[in-house]
Amino acid sequence: MRDDKLVNSLIKGLNILEAFTPTQTSFSFQELVLKTGLPKTTVFRFLRTLTLHDYLSFDTKNKKYFLGPRVMSLGFAVLSGMDLRHIANPYLEELAKVSDQNVNLAILDNTEVVVIERIKKWQLLDINIPIGGRLNCYQTSPGQAILAFLKQEKFQLLLKTLLKDKKAVEYIGPKGSKLLNKLKEVQQKGYVFCNGEFAQGVRSIAAPIFNAQGEVEGAVYMPVLSQAVSREELIERYAPMLFETAKKISKARGYSIETINALQITTLAKKIGKRRSPS
């Protein structure tokens, strides 16, 4: 059956990517033509585009294509997110039930956070981010919750990227000092409170989730309308619930609660000192 809403060119591109399997990881141009059944000119055009954008790589020695780093990173992010989402879901459901508030789960993808689960209690048009929706990492509570506990090497690479973005620099400061100070506060408290930084009239709290290797892999967050929930209520009533939920999910992921509690003593202060020291 034909569906006029389908994007045929996208489907053809996906057909090329799907040709690669664990048992056949590389193809020559002619092999891809035979595998996909697409015209040579079409295959050539898509290969050129996919290679240019790092979805495919080309080995000049054996003249074969293989999956590029961009596909790999997308795959790992999705697999990790799906696993986390499955484990976290019952805890998110319980939090939404006892708090009677919307609850979301997000993971980091480059300089953005991606919502991978949401439990809705209220239809709040101003802050309804769908599953798959993206937010910047530096101005949002889930993003800051993850950044605060990111390993130093990863954090420095991400910060370097953010400092190339004029819009991000306006918020985080020319050297990222504003963001670093906020993340230090997050580490001390164990959760993030944002009050209209990303969207006017919206408050939110977030807490990080860790895996068995001790790495932060996501954040639970609760967005509310400022007119409906006061700052005091969000922090005093809901933040402890949220933090406890994040700890339960982390424990279910194999992370020790003792380590979670100890994470408030970290090396972020040293990072700030290094960036402030004269070069």
167-182 residue pLDDT tens:
999 999 988 999 999 9
pLDDT tier, 78 (very low <50, low <70, confident <90, very high otherwise): low
Summary mean pLDDT of the chain: 83
pLDDT at residue 148 in the model: 95
pLDDT in the model for residue 12: 83
Mean pLDDT calculated for residue range 258-275 = 45
Kindly tell me if the per-residue pLDDT of 220 is higher than 70: yes
Does the structure show a pLDDT above 70 at 273? no
Model pLDDT for residues 107-117, shown as the tens digit of each residue: 998 889 989 88
Quote the pLDDT of residue 198: 77
- Asked whether the CA dihedral 246, 250, 252, 255 is positive or negative, the reply is negative
Question: Once rounded to an integer, what is the mean pLDDT over residues 259-275?
Answer: 44
Q: Name which of 114-123, 141-150, 199-208 the model is least confident about.
A: 114-123
What is the DSSP secondary-structure string of 53-81?
A: TTSEEEETTTTEEEE-HHHHHHHHHHHHH
More confident site: 77 or 33: 33
Q: Which pLDDT band holds residue 91 (cuts at 50, 70, 90)? A: very high
- Average pLDDT (15-30) is 85
277 pLDDT above the threshold of 50: no
CA nearest to 143, candidates 91, 95, 201, 182: 182
What is the mean pLDDT of the segment spanning 201-224? 91
pLDDT at position 1: 43
Q: Which ranges of the chain would DSSP assign to H, the alpha helix?
A: 8-18, 29-36, 40-52, 69-99, 141-147, 152-162, 166-172, 177-189, 231-233, 239-252, 257-262, 268-276
Q: Is the pLDDT of residue 76 over 70?
A: no
pLDDT digits (tens, 9 = 90+) for 130-164: 788 888 999 999 999 999 999 999 999 999 999 99
Looking at residue 255, its pLDDT comes to 85
* Of 248 and 267, more confident: 248
Residue scoring higher pLDDT (73 or 266): 73
Would the pLDDT of 120 be above 60? yes
**Alpha-carbon distance 95 to 119, whole Å?**
9
Lowest-pLDDT range of 1-5, 39-43, 133-137 = 1-5
Query: What is the token pair recorded at 148?
Result: 């605060």
Give 253 or 123, the one with higher predicted confidence: 253
Tell me which residue of 192, 118, 196, 117 sits closest to 149, measured CA to CA.
192
Residue 33 pLDDT: 94
